[in-house]
Chains A and B, each alone.
Chain A
Amino acid sequence: MDKMISDKEKNWQEEFSKCKQREASFKTVSGEEIKPLYTPNDLKGFDYLEELGYPGQYPFTRGVYNTMYRGRLWTMRMFSGFGTAEDTNKRYRYLLDHGQTGLSVAFDFPTLYGRDSDDPMSCGEVGRCGVAISSLADMERLFDGIPLDKVSTSMTINGPAAILWAFYIAAAENQGVDPKQLRGTIQNDVLKEYIAQKSWLIPPEPSMRLTVNTMEFGSKHIPKWNTISISGYHIREAGSTAVQELSFTLADGFEYVKAGQEAGLDVDMFAPRLSFFFNSHLDFFEEIAKYRAARRIWAREMKNRFGAKNPRSWLMRFHTQTAGCTLTAQQPENNIVRVAWQALAAVLGGTQSLHTNSMDETLALPSEKAVLIALRTQQLIAYESGVANTIDPLAGSYFVESLTKRMEEQAYEYFEKIEKLGGIIKAIEIGYPQKEIAQASFRYQKEVEEKKRIVVGVNDYRIKDENIEIPILRIDPDVEKNQCRRLAQLREKRDNRKVKSRLDDLRDACRGEENLMYPILEAARVYATLGEIAGVLKEVFGEYREPPIYW
Chain B
Amino acid sequence: MGRKLRILLAKPGLDGHDRGIKVVARALRDAGMEVIYTGLHQTPEMIVEAALQEDVDAVGLSILSGAHMTLFVKVKELMEENGIGNKLLFGGGIIPDDDIKKLNEMGIGKIFTPGSSINEIIDYIQKNIKTEDE
Contact = CB atoms under 8 A, between A and B. Distances in A.
Decide whether A and B are members of one complex: yes
Interface of A: 109-110, 112-113, 115, 121-125, 128-129, 197-199, 237-239, 325, 327-330, 361-365, 438, 441-442, 445, 448-449, 455, 457-459, 468, 472, 475, 546-551
A270 to B, nearest CB: 28
Interface residues of B, number: 37
A504 B97 CA distance: 49
Contacts of A361: 94
Interface string B78-115: 00000000000000001011100000000000000111
B43 A121 contact: yes
Contacts of B13: 109, 121, 123-125
Contact of A330 (B39, B43, B71, B115): B115
Contacts of B35: 550
A446 B100 CA distance: 26
Contact of B118 (A115, A199, A449): A449
B130 interface: no
Nearest 7 pairs of A and B residues by beta carbon: A548-B39, A124-B70, A198-B16, A128-B66, A124-B67, A109-B14, A550-B25
Given A110-B14, A438-B26, 14 more contacts: A123-B13, A125-B14, A125-B66, A128-B67, A129-B64, A328-B115, A362-B113, A362-B114, A438-B22, A445-B27, A458-B115, A548-B38, A548-B39, A549-B37
A82 to B, nearest CB: 9
Contacts of A115: 14
Contacts of A325: 19
B37 A364 contact: no
B128 to A, nearest CB: 20
Nearest to B97: A468
A156 to B, nearest CB: 12
A129 B65 contact: yes
Contacts of B53: none
B40 A551 contact: no
Contacts of B114: 327-329, 362
A36 to B, nearest CB: 31
Contacts, number: 111
Contacts of B39: 546-549
B66 A365 contact: yes
20 contacts: A112-B16, A121-B14, A121-B43, A123-B13, A124-B13, A128-B65, A128-B67, A197-B16, A198-B16, A199-B16, A325-B19, A328-B115, A329-B114, A362-B94, A362-B113, A363-B113, A438-B22, A442-B22, A472-B96, A551-B26
A51 B114 CA distance: 41
B122 to A, nearest CB: 10
A490 to B, nearest CB: 22
A548 B117 CA distance: 24
Interface in B46-68: 64-67
A322 to B, nearest CB: 15
A392 B113 CA distance: 39
Given A113-B14, A123-B70, A548-B39, A364 B118 contact: no
A234 to B, nearest CB: 9
Contacts of A129: 64-66
B33 to A, nearest CB: 13
A238 B19 contact: yes
A362 to B, nearest CB: 4
A427 to B, nearest CB: 19
Which residue among B21, B43, B94, B119 has the maximum number of chain A CB atoms within 10 Å of its CB?
Answer: B94
B14 A550 contact: no
Contacts of B70: 123-125
A361 B67 CA distance: 15
B26 A550 contact: yes
B113 A125 contact: no
A465 to B, nearest CB: 12
A362 B96 CA distance: 9
Contacts of B19: 237-239, 325, 441
Contacts of A363: 94, 96-97, 113
Nearest to B41: A121
B96 to A, nearest CB: 5
A459 B117 contact: yes
B66 A364 contact: yes
A139 B14 CA distance: 22
A455 B14 contact: no
Contacts of B115: 328-330, 362, 455, 457-458
B34 to A, nearest CB: 13
Contact of B26 (A442, A449, A455, A475): A442
B23 interface: yes
